[in-house]
Amino acid sequence: MTTPQAAFLRACHLDVAVRKPGNVSLASAGHRMQAQQFLASAEAAAGPLFEPGARVGRRIEGAVAATWGAVGCNTNLGILLLCAPLAAAAERASDRSAAGLQRSLEAVLASLDVDDARAAYRAIAMAQPAGLGQVEAQDVHALPDVDLRAAMKLAADRDSIALQYANGFMQLFDIGLPALDALSERPSVEATTAAVQRLYLTWLSSLPDSHIVRKHGAAVAQTVMHAAQGWLTLARQSSAALDDRRLAVWDEALKADGINPGTSADLTVATLFAAALTMDRVLPS
Protein backbone atom coordinates (compact mmCIF):
# COMPACT_ATOMS: atom_id res chain seq x y z
CA MET A 1 0.00 0.00 0.00
CA THR A 2 1.24 3.51 -0.85
CA THR A 3 2.44 5.45 2.18
CA PRO A 4 1.09 9.00 2.57
CA GLN A 5 4.54 10.52 2.17
CA ALA A 6 5.23 8.53 -1.00
CA ALA A 7 1.80 9.52 -2.32
CA PHE A 8 2.59 13.20 -1.73
CA LEU A 9 5.98 13.00 -3.45
CA ARG A 10 4.47 11.19 -6.43
CA ALA A 11 1.75 13.84 -6.74
CA CYS A 12 4.35 16.61 -6.66
CA HIS A 13 6.42 14.86 -9.30
CA LEU A 14 3.41 14.49 -11.58
CA ASP A 15 2.70 18.19 -11.07
CA VAL A 16 5.80 19.06 -13.10
CA ALA A 17 6.13 15.90 -15.21
CA VAL A 18 2.97 16.79 -17.15
CA ARG A 19 2.57 20.03 -19.11
CA LYS A 20 -0.13 22.13 -17.46
CA PRO A 21 -0.61 25.39 -19.37
CA GLY A 22 0.58 28.42 -17.46
CA ASN A 23 2.45 26.37 -14.83
CA VAL A 24 6.07 25.32 -14.53
CA SER A 25 6.80 21.85 -15.88
CA LEU A 26 9.79 19.80 -16.98
CA ALA A 27 8.82 20.79 -20.52
CA SER A 28 8.61 24.51 -19.82
CA ALA A 29 9.99 26.79 -17.12
CA GLY A 30 8.11 29.95 -16.25
CA HIS A 31 7.47 32.79 -13.82
CA ARG A 32 11.22 32.87 -13.04
CA MET A 33 11.09 29.29 -11.72
CA GLN A 34 12.29 25.86 -12.87
CA ALA A 35 10.75 22.42 -12.40
CA GLN A 36 13.72 21.24 -10.33
CA GLN A 37 12.87 23.83 -7.70
CA PHE A 38 9.43 22.25 -7.29
CA LEU A 39 10.91 18.79 -6.97
CA ALA A 40 13.46 19.96 -4.42
CA SER A 41 10.67 21.73 -2.53
CA ALA A 42 8.61 18.57 -2.29
CA GLU A 43 11.52 16.57 -0.93
CA ALA A 44 12.34 19.26 1.62
CA ALA A 45 8.74 19.78 2.73
CA ALA A 46 7.87 16.11 3.08
CA GLY A 47 9.57 15.62 6.46
CA PRO A 48 7.74 18.38 8.36
CA LEU A 49 4.50 17.75 6.46
CA PHE A 50 4.38 14.15 7.66
CA GLU A 51 5.75 14.66 11.17
CA PRO A 52 3.88 12.04 13.23
CA GLY A 53 1.27 13.54 15.50
CA ALA A 54 1.97 17.13 14.45
CA ARG A 55 -0.85 19.63 14.31
CA VAL A 56 -1.83 21.08 10.93
CA GLY A 57 -0.36 24.52 11.59
CA ARG A 58 2.98 23.03 12.65
CA ARG A 59 3.06 20.91 9.49
CA ILE A 60 2.40 23.94 7.28
CA GLU A 61 4.92 26.20 8.98
CA GLY A 62 7.63 23.56 9.11
CA ALA A 63 7.14 22.58 5.48
CA VAL A 64 7.23 26.19 4.27
CA ALA A 65 10.42 26.83 6.29
CA ALA A 66 12.01 23.71 4.83
CA THR A 67 11.00 24.79 1.33
CA TRP A 68 12.60 28.20 1.76
CA GLY A 69 15.72 26.60 3.12
CA ALA A 70 15.93 24.43 0.01
CA VAL A 71 14.97 26.81 -2.82
CA GLY A 72 14.58 30.29 -1.34
CA CYS A 73 11.23 31.08 -2.95
CA ASN A 74 7.53 30.23 -2.78
CA THR A 75 6.94 27.15 -4.90
CA ASN A 76 4.35 25.30 -2.85
CA LEU A 77 2.43 27.33 -0.25
CA GLY A 78 -0.96 26.42 -1.73
CA ILE A 79 0.02 22.77 -2.01
CA LEU A 80 1.07 22.68 1.64
CA LEU A 81 -2.06 24.46 2.87
CA LEU A 82 -4.15 21.83 1.10
CA CYS A 83 -2.05 18.78 1.84
CA ALA A 84 -1.36 19.38 5.54
CA PRO A 85 -4.95 18.59 6.64
CA LEU A 86 -5.00 15.63 4.25
CA ALA A 87 -1.73 14.34 5.71
CA ALA A 88 -3.11 14.62 9.25
CA ALA A 89 -6.34 12.92 8.17
CA ALA A 90 -4.46 10.07 6.48
CA GLU A 91 -2.47 9.51 9.67
CA ARG A 92 -5.59 9.00 11.77
CA ALA A 93 -7.84 7.32 9.17
CA SER A 94 -8.42 3.59 9.60
CA ASP A 95 -10.61 3.47 6.49
CA ARG A 96 -8.67 4.39 3.34
CA SER A 97 -11.77 4.80 1.17
CA ALA A 98 -12.71 8.27 -0.06
CA ALA A 99 -15.55 8.35 2.46
CA GLY A 100 -13.20 7.28 5.24
CA LEU A 101 -10.64 9.94 4.37
CA GLN A 102 -13.40 12.56 4.17
CA ARG A 103 -14.67 11.67 7.64
CA SER A 104 -11.18 11.80 9.08
CA LEU A 105 -10.50 15.10 7.32
CA GLU A 106 -13.64 16.66 8.77
CA ALA A 107 -12.47 15.68 12.24
CA VAL A 108 -9.08 17.29 11.57
CA LEU A 109 -10.67 20.51 10.31
CA ALA A 110 -13.04 20.63 13.29
CA SER A 111 -10.06 20.37 15.67
CA LEU A 112 -8.12 23.32 14.22
CA ASP A 113 -7.37 26.01 16.80
CA VAL A 114 -5.91 29.49 17.05
CA ASP A 115 -2.36 28.12 17.33
CA ASP A 116 -2.88 26.40 13.98
CA ALA A 117 -4.02 29.75 12.56
CA ARG A 118 -1.00 31.59 13.94
CA ALA A 119 1.42 28.99 12.59
CA ALA A 120 -0.26 29.08 9.17
CA TYR A 121 -0.18 32.90 9.14
CA ARG A 122 3.55 32.81 9.95
CA ALA A 123 4.02 30.39 7.07
CA ILE A 124 2.09 32.64 4.69
CA ALA A 125 4.16 35.64 5.77
CA MET A 126 7.33 33.61 5.18
CA ALA A 127 6.20 32.47 1.73
CA GLN A 128 5.25 36.01 0.64
CA PRO A 129 2.64 35.02 -1.98
CA ALA A 130 1.87 37.68 -4.56
CA GLY A 131 -1.35 39.66 -4.69
CA LEU A 132 -2.74 39.00 -1.20
CA GLY A 133 -3.71 42.60 -0.45
CA GLN A 134 -5.40 43.43 2.87
CA VAL A 135 -8.81 42.73 4.39
CA GLU A 136 -10.55 44.03 7.51
CA ALA A 137 -11.06 40.78 9.43
CA GLN A 138 -8.22 38.35 10.27
CA ASP A 139 -5.82 39.81 7.71
CA VAL A 140 -2.83 37.54 7.13
CA HIS A 141 -0.47 40.40 7.99
CA ALA A 142 -1.86 40.55 11.55
CA LEU A 143 -2.01 38.10 14.45
CA PRO A 144 -5.19 35.97 14.17
CA ASP A 145 -7.48 35.52 17.17
CA VAL A 146 -9.71 32.81 15.69
CA ASP A 147 -9.03 29.19 14.77
CA LEU A 148 -7.62 28.34 11.35
CA ARG A 149 -10.88 27.04 9.91
CA ALA A 150 -12.75 30.16 11.03
CA ALA A 151 -10.05 32.33 9.45
CA MET A 152 -10.30 30.36 6.21
CA LYS A 153 -14.09 30.73 6.17
CA LEU A 154 -13.62 34.51 6.07
CA ALA A 155 -11.60 34.14 2.87
CA ALA A 156 -13.66 31.37 1.26
CA ASP A 157 -15.51 33.69 -1.11
CA ARG A 158 -12.28 34.86 -2.72
CA ASP A 159 -9.89 31.92 -2.40
CA SER A 160 -10.49 28.32 -3.50
CA ILE A 161 -7.99 26.91 -1.01
CA ALA A 162 -9.73 28.65 1.88
CA LEU A 163 -13.00 27.33 0.48
CA GLN A 164 -11.78 23.75 0.94
CA TYR A 165 -11.17 24.37 4.64
CA ALA A 166 -14.60 25.96 4.96
CA ASN A 167 -16.62 23.18 3.33
CA GLY A 168 -14.63 20.06 4.18
CA PHE A 169 -12.78 19.88 0.85
CA MET A 170 -16.12 19.36 -0.90
CA GLN A 171 -14.80 20.34 -4.33
CA LEU A 172 -11.85 17.97 -4.03
CA PHE A 173 -14.16 15.03 -3.38
CA ASP A 174 -16.97 16.10 -5.74
CA ILE A 175 -14.96 17.58 -8.65
CA GLY A 176 -11.35 16.44 -8.32
CA LEU A 177 -11.48 12.75 -7.46
CA PRO A 178 -14.28 11.90 -9.97
CA ALA A 179 -12.05 13.29 -12.73
CA LEU A 180 -9.66 10.40 -12.02
CA ASP A 181 -12.28 7.64 -11.80
CA ALA A 182 -11.40 6.23 -15.22
CA LEU A 183 -7.82 5.42 -14.20
CA SER A 184 -7.02 1.74 -13.94
CA GLU A 185 -5.25 0.43 -10.85
CA ARG A 186 -1.91 0.41 -12.65
CA PRO A 187 -2.21 3.04 -15.37
CA SER A 188 0.46 3.50 -18.02
CA VAL A 189 2.58 6.63 -18.18
CA GLU A 190 0.54 7.76 -21.21
CA ALA A 191 -2.79 7.21 -19.44
CA THR A 192 -1.52 9.02 -16.36
CA THR A 193 -0.35 12.00 -18.41
CA ALA A 194 -3.77 12.28 -20.04
CA ALA A 195 -5.52 11.93 -16.68
CA VAL A 196 -3.41 14.64 -15.02
CA GLN A 197 -4.09 17.00 -17.92
CA ARG A 198 -7.83 16.35 -17.68
CA LEU A 199 -7.74 16.83 -13.92
CA TYR A 200 -5.93 20.16 -14.20
CA LEU A 201 -8.28 21.35 -16.94
CA THR A 202 -11.24 20.22 -14.83
CA TRP A 203 -10.10 22.47 -12.00
CA LEU A 204 -9.28 25.36 -14.32
CA SER A 205 -12.69 24.98 -16.02
CA SER A 206 -14.70 24.73 -12.80
CA LEU A 207 -13.51 27.62 -10.62
CA PRO A 208 -11.97 31.01 -11.42
CA ASP A 209 -8.33 30.51 -10.49
CA SER A 210 -7.73 32.41 -7.24
CA HIS A 211 -4.10 33.17 -8.07
CA ILE A 212 -5.10 34.71 -11.40
CA VAL A 213 -7.86 36.72 -9.73
CA ARG A 214 -5.44 38.13 -7.13
CA LYS A 215 -2.84 39.16 -9.70
CA HIS A 216 -4.89 40.00 -12.80
CA GLY A 217 -8.52 40.36 -11.77
CA ALA A 218 -11.73 38.39 -12.19
CA ALA A 219 -12.17 39.17 -15.90
CA VAL A 220 -8.84 37.58 -16.84
CA ALA A 221 -9.60 34.56 -14.66
CA GLN A 222 -12.95 34.13 -16.39
CA THR A 223 -11.27 34.32 -19.82
CA VAL A 224 -8.77 31.63 -18.87
CA MET A 225 -11.54 29.48 -17.39
CA HIS A 226 -13.54 29.74 -20.61
CA ALA A 227 -10.50 28.75 -22.69
CA ALA A 228 -9.87 25.80 -20.37
CA GLN A 229 -13.42 24.57 -20.93
CA GLY A 230 -12.70 24.24 -24.64
CA TRP A 231 -9.49 22.35 -23.97
CA LEU A 232 -11.27 20.07 -21.49
CA THR A 233 -13.85 19.20 -24.12
CA LEU A 234 -11.03 18.12 -26.44
CA ALA A 235 -9.30 16.19 -23.65
CA ARG A 236 -12.45 14.23 -22.86
CA GLN A 237 -12.84 13.11 -26.45
CA SER A 238 -9.77 10.89 -26.28
CA SER A 239 -8.00 8.71 -23.75
CA ALA A 240 -4.66 10.05 -25.05
CA ALA A 241 -2.94 13.22 -23.92
CA LEU A 242 -3.57 16.43 -25.81
CA ASP A 243 -1.33 17.35 -28.74
CA ASP A 244 1.72 18.79 -26.99
CA ARG A 245 2.60 21.23 -29.78
CA ARG A 246 -0.83 22.88 -29.62
CA LEU A 247 -0.89 22.85 -25.83
CA ALA A 248 2.58 24.41 -25.74
CA VAL A 249 1.32 27.44 -27.66
CA TRP A 250 -1.28 28.18 -24.99
CA ASP A 251 1.20 27.36 -22.23
CA GLU A 252 3.77 29.85 -23.51
CA ALA A 253 1.14 32.51 -24.24
CA LEU A 254 -0.09 32.40 -20.65
CA LYS A 255 3.45 32.63 -19.32
CA ALA A 256 4.30 35.49 -21.66
CA ASP A 257 1.41 37.43 -20.09
CA GLY A 258 2.50 36.48 -16.56
CA ILE A 259 -0.63 34.40 -16.02
CA ASN A 260 -0.10 31.49 -13.66
CA PRO A 261 -3.13 29.31 -12.75
CA GLY A 262 -1.35 28.35 -9.54
CA THR A 263 -4.42 27.52 -7.50
CA SER A 264 -5.63 25.05 -10.13
CA ALA A 265 -2.21 23.40 -9.99
CA ASP A 266 -2.33 23.28 -6.18
CA LEU A 267 -5.75 21.62 -6.30
CA THR A 268 -4.43 19.17 -8.90
CA VAL A 269 -1.60 18.10 -6.59
CA ALA A 270 -3.94 17.77 -3.61
CA THR A 271 -6.33 15.65 -5.68
CA LEU A 272 -3.53 13.38 -6.89
CA PHE A 273 -2.39 13.00 -3.28
CA ALA A 274 -5.89 12.11 -2.11
CA ALA A 275 -6.36 9.74 -5.05
CA ALA A 276 -3.21 7.83 -4.17
CA LEU A 277 -4.43 7.58 -0.58
CA THR A 278 -7.99 6.50 -1.34
CA MET A 279 -7.75 4.64 -4.63
CA ASP A 280 -4.24 3.34 -3.96
CA ARG A 281 -3.39 3.97 -7.58
CA VAL A 282 0.18 3.18 -8.58
CA LEU A 283 0.74 6.34 -10.61
CA PRO A 284 3.89 6.32 -12.74
CA SER A 285 6.18 9.26 -12.10
Instruction: Look at residue 63 and tell me whether its pLDDT is greater than 50.
Output: yes
Lowest mean pLDDT among 79-88, 93-102, 153-162: 93-102
Full-model pTM:
0.94
User: In sequence order, what DSSP letters do the residues of 82-140 get, joined into one string?
Assistant: HHHHHHHHHHH-S--SHHHHHHHHHHHHHT--HHHHHHHHHHHHHH--TT----SSS-T
User: pLDDT by residue (tens digit) across 64-75?
Assistant: 999 999 999 999
**Predicted pLDDT at 137:** 46
Average the pLDDT over 269-280 and give the result.
90
Q: What is the pLDDT of residue 133?
A: 46
Q: Considering only residues 17 and 94, tell me which one the structure prediction assigns the higher pLDDT.
A: 17
Q: What is the mean pLDDT of residues 186-199?
A: 90
pLDDT for the residue 271: 97
Phi-psi region of 22 (alpha: psi -120 to 50; beta: other; left: phi over 0): left
pLDDT higher than 90, residue 12: yes
What is the fold of 4-187+266-278?
Answer: Triphosphoribosyl-dephospho-CoA protein (1.10.4200)
In this prediction, what percent of the chain has a pLDDT beyond 70?
92
- What's the chain's average pLDDT? 92
* pLDDT at position 215 over 90: yes
Question: If you average pLDDT over residues 165-189, what whole number do you get?
Answer: 89
Where does the pLDDT of residue 250 fall: very low under 50, low under 70, confident under 90, or very high at 90 and above? Answer: very high
The predicted pLDDT at position 1 comes to: 65
CA neighbor of 231 nearest in space, from 216, 212, 253, 214: 253
Asked if residue 180 has pLDDT above 50, the reply is yes
pLDDT of residue 135: 45
The pLDDT value given to residue 2: 78
Where does the pLDDT of residue 281 fall: very low under 50, low under 70, confident under 90, or very high at 90 and above?
Answer: low
Instruction: Please tell me which residue, 199 or 281, carries the higher pLDDT value.
Output: 199
pLDDT on residue 186: 72
Mean of the pLDDT values across residues 217-242?
95
Which is more confidently placed, 141 or 26?
26
Listed range (134-143, 184-193, 247-256) with the worst mean pLDDT: 134-143
